[in-house]
Amino acid sequence: MNRMSVLIAALLSSAIPSAAADVISPPPAPPPLPVPEMFKWTGIYFGALAGYHWTDAEPQSFRLVDDHLKIDNWLGGGFVGANYQFDNHMVLGLEGEFDYLGGSGDQSLQVVINNNIETGEGELTLGWSGSLRGRVGYGFERTLLYGTAGGEISSGSVTGSFNAKSIDTGNKTLAGWTVGAGLEHAFTDNFFARAEYRYSYYPKVDYSFSWDSDFSLKASQNQMKVGLGYKF
């Protein structure tokens, strides 16, 4: 009886390791996939732009019957700025821009000479302009919608001629404000394109000339621009 018990115990002990060897452990779980980093507009950037402008100047003088000189033409320039994007996707930024506004606008003018109204030719000529603006926007991944506002300065001149006489303001600098909105889209992590509209207003500035000691000038301007930029 004891010999039989010993034999059974020996058989059982030899079978347990064999059964345990037949148990297959499950494979380890794969590591979690890395979460792609969300694109952000934070960084310094620069770029070039081109577009079109519509400018309306209002010279005020007792010698002028007409008080509007208008011009529309191309513009080109560049911009540089910096953005910071918050965790809630709001974007704040600061941008500087320098443009050159091409062309000049001619139109007929009625001019007062010796208390008589005479017809002459007037011309509005523009040159460079620059602005420093704040920006606030919202980032939809790689698309940014923004508004912008700040200060702007611009150069220009008004001339007129009639019966061998002339008026000429010379090149003058006007200071004003500008406001607008735009859209930017990043095609890569660095390159982006933009489209922007801006309205600028230059309040009245007084000048004194030999032909009119009480001359003044104010102006307004609409601009449509597209640009290409690089973000660091």
**Encoding tokens for residue 46?**
């620069």
pTM: 0.79
Amino acid 104: pLDDT? 73
E strands in the chain: 43-60, 69-85, 90-101, 104-113, 116-140, 143-162, 165-168, 172-186, 191-209, 212-231
Supply the DSSP string of 2-31, one letter for each residue.
HHHHHHHHHHHHHHHHHHHHTPPPPPPPPP
Chain segment 97-155, per-residue pLDDT in tens:
999 998 776 777 777 767 777 777 778 888 999 999 999 999 999 999 999 999 999 99
Cα–Cα distance between 162 and 28 in angstroms, integer? 94
Residue 3 has pLDDT above 80, yes or no: no
Determine contact, residues 203/218, Cβ cutoff 8 Å.
Answer: yes
Please determine, for residue 198, whether its predicted confidence score (pLDDT) is greater than 90.
Answer: yes
Q: Is 207 exposed, middle or buried (0-12, 13-18, 19+ CB in 10 A)?
A: middle
Task: Examine the pLDDT at 167 and tell me if it is beyond 80.
Answer: no
From the number of C-beta atoms within 10 Å of its C-beta (0-12, 13-18, 19+), residue 77 rates as buried
Q: What was the pLDDT predicted at 217?
A: 84
Task: Show me where the domains of the chain are located.
Answer: 43-146+161-177+204-231
